[in-house]
Every structure is written in C-alpha cells, then in structure tokens.
Amino acid sequence: MRPLEGIKILDLTRLLPGPYGTMLLGDLGAEVIKIEEPEQGDYARWNPPQINGVGSRHLLLNRNKKSITLNLKKPAGKEIFLKLVQDNADVLIEQFRPGVMDRLGLGYKDLEKINPRLIYCSLTGFGQNGPYQNVAGHDINYIAIGGILGNTGEKDGPPVIPGIQIADLVGGGLYAVIGILTALVAREKTGQGQYIDISMLDGVVSLIPDAAALYFAEGQPPGRGERRLTGGLPQYQVYRTKDGKYLAVGALEEKFWANLCHGIGKPEWAEKIPRENDPRCAEIKKEMAEIFLTKTRQEWIDLLMFRDTCVAPVLTLEETFQDPQVLYRNMLVEIDHPRAGKIKQIGLPLKFSATPGEVYNPAPEIGEHTEEILKKLGYPEEKVKELRKERVIR
C-alpha cells in the first residue's frame, strides 16, 4: 500500500512547478489525472531535449499519472470536467493566471458547490492578489524579487543565477504539496475542503530566514559573498584542486575546523577558528586555495572526507548519478516507456518504513486514458467518438 492510495487529484498544470508537485503526490500513490488541452498538451511533451521523440522533462515529471484531453472552452468539455470534480475528486491543482478559472466558470466558488470536500490549489508566480498578481514572470524573476538572486554570488561581483529553479520547484511545487497534504489532514477533522493560494514569490521569501535574521538584527542587508554561509569565511568555501576540479569545504564548527587544519598540514590554524570580519580570513582563504591546488580532488577526498572535516567533492551531474551514496539510496531508478524505451528517473527522496512510494508507471501518452476515464464516468463508446469528432477530446 502506498501512503496516498485512494486520493484522486485533477491536475491542470504544465511545464515545471505544478507537474513537479503532482509527480511527488503520484509517487506516493495518489491517482493523478493530468488534464491537457487536445491540440498540444503539456509543452513538456515536445520541448527538447527528447528521448526517441518524447520530451525528457515530460518523462520525468509526468510519471505515475493518467492523461485525459479536454477542451475546457467547449460546453461538452466543461461538462466532463465537472463530472470529474463530482466523481469524488479530492484535489484540484491549477496554475493559470488569476481569474482564468473563474472566467471559465470553474473557480473554487463554482466547484465548492458541487463538491464541498474538494481541495482547490492555485499555483501562480505572485499569488491571487496584490500589485503583481497579473505580472508575467519566470523563476529568475521570483528569486530576484524574493531576495535569493541578490544574495547569491561573489563579493563585488554580479548576482549569479542558481543552477536549479528554486522558485518553481520549492516555492511552487513543493509548497503546493505541503499545502495539499495539510488541507487533506484538516479535512479529516472538518469534513470540508478549502482553497489554497500558492505564490512562488511567497515561497522564495520564506526560504531566506538566515539572511533575513541578519537583516532584522543588524538593520542592513548582508553583502553578497560576505557572510559565513555565502563565501565570507575560508572554512565555508569552494576550492579548486590540482586536476581542475573542485572541493566544497564546510568546516564551520571548531572540531571540524581543527580536523581540517591538521589534514591540510596547518595545525597552527586550529587554535582559533576564523569568524566573520576576522582580518585573517582573506589571507587564510588565499593560502588554503594554494594548498588545495597541490593535490587532485580524489586525493583530497581520500585524505579528508571520512575524517570529520565536512569536505565533499563538487560533482558534475554525470558523477552525481554514479555516486555510491546516491545509488545506495535508490535516487536513480529505471523504468520502461513504450516509446522512449528504458529510461532513467530520479528516485523518491521520502523513505517510508510501512507504506513506501515508488515509480510504478511511465509518463502517459497524450490522452492515453481518455476513453478509460470517460467510460468510468458513464460515457458510451458512440458518445466518445462524437466528442472526438467535435474536438472536445483528442
């Protein structure tokens, strides 16, 4: 048994934020019905890169889901959608701009009337209200306004774009999952569904507690690349090695710092750990950079990593998916797809002792489950043919 078995989710999202969230819910056993417009479906289906003609993002983000095509602008499509909502749907998640679902007659107030237990989650960049509610944006815009971009990079250098979509994945998708699961628990107590308004900007702002704490305490924002966790200390830094690769050093505590100092042949540094604004920081950082250039990355790993120094290799993505810890924890799995063949997938980060999730179904073809779902709703075969002819479904 998977932990979310029996929970039915109607998924109107596409691309990255919403599909990432519903992927996690599907991995945990929820029945996720991906509702796509008939012509193109989710853009992730055909956006490059592709594997045998199938978008690789689609293959990853839309596993463990069913797909039905519906034209919600046609009365017959809207009717089918309403039947899906009435058919014991637990959750609906959408990421259109504010007001779009209301104009379709499919807003929360409309659907609450026919399914008062429905949990309705709207996921947008700036939320359902406020001066930016209708402003277009992408991940870079949300982290720019939310304080992450301005706080990322080296001292005296420009802001640096992070290597992942923090707003989309965490501020959006992951927070939507938290909201949905919380609302499901609340419904067990009240018997009522509710509306969840997820703003990716809100999520980003919530992710800067350390920088915010410094600002609230000192009255001025921390300078980029100047504080203890952003590059200001020699013991929390990235260093290049002899072979052109990199090490991540995070020896913040005194015991780790002492172990590191002895490991790199500088035991005299162990007596006093560098602190913020310590005039020794620049000189120690410079000397550490020179020391790490004397050995290869692997030589340093063999010398330091397993000796309580908080040192790790900076891996390429290829190396990450060959790393023994990553593999041991099943964070790389394989699944068969009818068109793409045997494909690699990121594994599940949540490990349950009694009700584990799993990657059990490959990403569906567009509309793969349309007939199956319509049949369950009571639509006869002739009606399905008629709906297809009228382009209500694909």
Q: Which residues are catalytic?
A: 168
Cα separation, 332 vs 344, in Å, equals: 7
Cis peptide, bond prior to residue 49, ω within 30 of zero: yes
The separation between CA 115 and the C-alpha centre of its own chain, rounded to angstroms, equals 29
Report the candidate in 349, 351, 268, 270 with the shortest Cα–Cα distance to residue 308.
270
Please choose, from the candidates 150, 107, 112, 143, the residue with its C-alpha nearest in 3D space to the C-alpha of residue 128: 107
Per DSSP bridges, beta strands 341-346 and 332-337 are: antiparallel
Helices (H) and strands (E) in the chain, counts: 17, 13
- Pairing outcome for strands 91-94 and 119-124: parallel
Give the pairing type, strands 195-199 and 236-240. Answer: unpaired
Four-residue CA torsion sign, 155, 159, 160, 162? positive
Helix (H) or strand (E) holding 92: strand 91-94
Q: Which two tokens stand for residue 218?
A: 């000192």
Joined tokens for residue 281: 């920081």
Length of the chain as a residue count: 394
Q: 364 vs 28, 58, 329, CA distance in Å?
A: 17, 9, 26
List Cα–Cα distances, 173 to 158, 199, 208, 317, 324, in angstroms.
28, 10, 18, 22, 28
